[in-house]
């Protein structure tokens, strides 16, 4: 399917009304996380949403590239090379084209509407600046894909979503409306991937845990779920549960730390999952 022109969604992505909006993945010079793109495509399919890729031309790198003493070292060729502004822009154009091809390859088998924008700025600041109030953001660990891998990357959409079926989806549920939206997004993804659900319930005591577990149970239908308890603000418990189960994604409401455009979203060391932030 050909990309549409980016438009601001008019209905809430999750909740009442038609389920459509954007599932956003931002990519910078560090590379593309194929796992995050797969998760984003699955969410877009499950939520009838637009798959939106944003390639960010990082201004910090442009400032470095104009310095006369800057050199580049590559894992794929020996020695140091000139790191000029023209070389940087050529590399950025190639990465943006690689992202475009990968989005198209993921979207086509599922008939997804997809968009791609190219913007300039700081990776995290520009990411949040481009987010609408109803957008979901998928954050992953960038992985450099050399040009020889482009054809292989383009084929990764064909067996999807079976590629994610072996891995559960983790969600943080705190009893709030944002928590309900996170749970709804997690259910949409596991119904696409036919995988298990790991529900980490935020509760200060066992009574609150049981109440919220019953609330979550009412939404699950026939989905197979594993429940854990975490104390308020204990994101680490959700992270540990996600990693222990080999989850492909951890879905949670956006925290205060992640709401500011200047702060980064940092995944734990050695994490293998993608982080999905719910508005």
Q: Which CATH number fits domain 22-155: 3.30.70.1730, 3.40.50.300, 3.40.50.620, 2.70.150.10?
A: 3.40.50.620
Question: pLDDT per residue over 141-175, tens digit each?
Answer: 765 444 444 444 444 444 455 566 678 999 999 88
Residues 6+ apart with CB under 8 A from 255: 235
- pTM score: 0.77
The C-alpha atoms of residue 155 and residue 201 are separated, in whole angstroms, by: 37
CB 232 within 8 A of CB 95: no
| Domains 22-155 and 165-278 fall in the same CATH topology | yes
With beta carbons less than 8 A apart as the criterion, state whether 171 and 197 touch.
Answer: yes
The answer to whether domain 165-278 has CATH 3.40.50.720 is: no
**Domain residue spans of the chain:** 22-155, 165-278
| Beta strand segments in 102-182, E | 114-121, 136-139, 169-173
Q: What is the mean pLDDT of residues 169-196?
A: 91
Q: Judge whether 51 and 114 are in contact, CB under 8 Å.
A: yes
- Greatest alpha-carbon pair distance for the chain in Å reads 64
pLDDT digits (tens, 9 = 90+) for 65-108: 544 545 454 444 554 455 566 776 777 888 889 999 999 999 99
Asked which of 36-40, 51-55, 204-208, 219-223 is least confident by mean pLDDT, the reply is: 219-223
Partners of 19 in the beta sheet?
none
Neighbouring C-alpha atoms within 13 Å toward the C-beta of 122: 8
Mean confidence (pLDDT) of the chain? 75
């Amino acid at each position: 399917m050909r990309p549409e022109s980016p438009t601001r969604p008019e209905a809430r992505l999750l909740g009442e009304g038609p389920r459509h909006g954007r599932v956003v993945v931002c990519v910078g010079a560090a590379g593309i996380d194929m796992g995050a793109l797969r998760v984003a495509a699955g969410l877009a399919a499950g939520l009838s949403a637009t798959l939106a890729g944003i390639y960010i031309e990082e201004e910090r790198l442009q400032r470095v590239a104009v310095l006369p003493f800057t050199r580049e070292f590559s894992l794929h060729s020996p020695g140091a090379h000139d790191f000029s502004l023209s070389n940087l822009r050529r590399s950025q154009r190639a990465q943006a084209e690689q992202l475009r091809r990968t989005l198209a390859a993921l979207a086509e088998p599922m008939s997804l509407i997809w968009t791609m924008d190219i913007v300039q700025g700081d990776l995290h600041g520009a990411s949040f600046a481009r987010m609408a109030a109803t957008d979901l953001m998928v954050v992953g660990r960038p992985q450099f894909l050399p040009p020889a891998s482009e054809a292989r990357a383009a084929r990764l959409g064909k067996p999807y979503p079976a590629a994610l079926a072996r891995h559960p989806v983790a969600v943080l549920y705190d009893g709030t409306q944002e928590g309900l939206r996170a749970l709804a997004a997690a259910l949409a993804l596991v119904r696409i991937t036919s995988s298990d659900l790991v529900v980490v319930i935020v509760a200060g005591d066992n009574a609150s845990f049981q109440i919220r577990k019953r609330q979550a149970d009412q939404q699950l239908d026939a989905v197979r779920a594993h429940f854990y308890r975490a104390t308020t603000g204990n994101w680490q418990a959700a992270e540990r549960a996600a990693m222990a189960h080999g989850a492909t994604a951890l879905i949670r409401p956006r925290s205060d730390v992640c709401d500011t455009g200047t702060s980064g979203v940092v995944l734990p060391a050695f994490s293998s999952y993608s982080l999905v932030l719910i508005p």
